[in-house]
Amino acid sequence: MWKDKRYHSLDYELRKVFGRKTIKLSLDGGFTCPNRDGTVGNRGCIFCGEEGSGEFAAERCLSISEQIGNQKEFLSKKWPEGKYIAYFQNFTNTYSTCEDLRQKYEEAISLDDVSGLSIATRPDCLNLDILDLLEEFNMKTFLWVELGLQTIHEDTAKFIRRGYDLSVYENAVRELKKRNIRVVTHLIFGLPKESTKDILDSVRYVAKTNTWGVKFHLLYVQKGTDLYEYYKKNPFHILSKDEYINLVCDAIELLPENMVIHRLTGDGKKELLVEPRWSLDKLRVLSGIDMELKRRDSFQGKNYNI
């Protein structure tokens, strides 16, 4: 159903929309986060380092145009005919004034071959003015908004210092969908004390939201984070590669066929990564997922509604 995959990948979806390979360019808009500046918290989520989630984003000292230009030059060697999505990745990318956001978003989508806009943010950083701004950009370009839910379980949410209740996520999804804005939800597999059932319950919940997309992240312990300090004092179970592959395949089966899967595993910087080291071989993990789905004779949506 999805070319050579048994799941609805982002690559498949973007090729369908734009007719060619479309690549995300990870940008740093120079934003911070209410979970760092004292509004919600001071140290961020427990797994978040000083660079936020943008270890692979461009340098924030460069303008948006310069960041995009540098990445396009590098990636054009591999995909000379590609289109691009400007991906505001690092920290909370709606956490500023509307004027600042408008200028940065506009700069990004005005550049050659930039066909869309992806904005990673928190559900508690979407006031009405921001929502109206996003609606405006949704009419100009191919837009999606990514929300870091991570888990539906409140005990875990408190442990990771997420800083908002599940109802805040639900309201954000409702308001974004009201404006026909595509929503992508992030989930983390392997959070301390969460069972397989807990993780799959989060997947089932997201499946029922009928949002446009989902991202599965592997929890990794990285130097320079509070999670690393916690792990040294309180070692917890780290998913093995086989455990993770089986868990992802279970999750894929629970999703509706039309939900776009943006990511199946996480990325960690080699020099910072403590556990799990097997995650550094991302291609082997992805091929393992493909092989396990084939072994099961399974596919996305097989167990949706179960």
Task: Give tens-digit pLDDT for 93-131.
Answer: 999 999 999 999 999 999 999 999 999 999 999 999 999
Task: Given CATH 3.20.20.70, say whether it is the number of domain 10-296.
Answer: yes
187: helix, coil or strand? Answer: strand
Cα 256 to Cα 300: distance, rounded to the nearest angstrom: 7
**Whether the Cβ atoms of residue 128 and residue 67 lie closer than 8 Å to each other:** no
Question: How many Cα atoms occupy the beta-carbon half-sphere of 66 within 13 Å?
Answer: 8
**Whether the Cβ atoms of residue 59 and residue 89 lie closer than 8 Å to each other:** no
Cα 306 to Cα 301: distance, rounded to the nearest angstrom: 10
Per-residue model confidence (pLDDT) at position 54: 47
Q: What is the mean pLDDT of residues 49-72?
A: 76
Q: Quickly state the pLDDT bin for 295 (edges 50, 70, 90).
A: very high
Helix axes 98-109, 64-75, angle to 10 degrees: 30
User: Where in the chain are the domains?
Assistant: 10-296
Element (H, E) at 87: strand 83-88
Give me the percent of the chain exceeding a pLDDT of 70. 97
Closest among 79, 84, 129 to 111, alpha carbons compared: 84
Paired sense of beta strands 273-275 and 221-222, if any: antiparallel
Per-residue model confidence (pLDDT) at position 58: 60
Prior bond of 276 cis (ω within 30°): yes
For 230, the token pair is 């916690």
Paired sense of beta strands 22-27 and 182-189, if any: unpaired
Question: How many Cα atoms occupy the beta-carbon half-sphere of 232 within 13 Å?
Answer: 8
Q: Quickly state the pLDDT bin for 9 (edges 50, 70, 90).
A: very high
| Helix runs in 76-182, H state only | 98-109, 128-140, 154-159, 166-178
The identity of residue 7, as a single letter, is Y
For 94, the token pair is 């709606």
Task: Give tens-digit pLDDT for 188-233.
Answer: 999 999 999 999 999 999 999 989 999 999 999 999 999 999 999 9
Residue recorded with tokens 């930039």:
114
What global pTM score does this model have?
Answer: 0.95
DSSP 235-253: --PPPPHHHHHHHHHHHHH
* Mean pLDDT over each residue of the chain, to the nearest integer: 94
Residues 6+ apart with CB under 8 A from 291: none
Cα 290 to Cα 246: distance, rounded to the nearest angstrom: 11
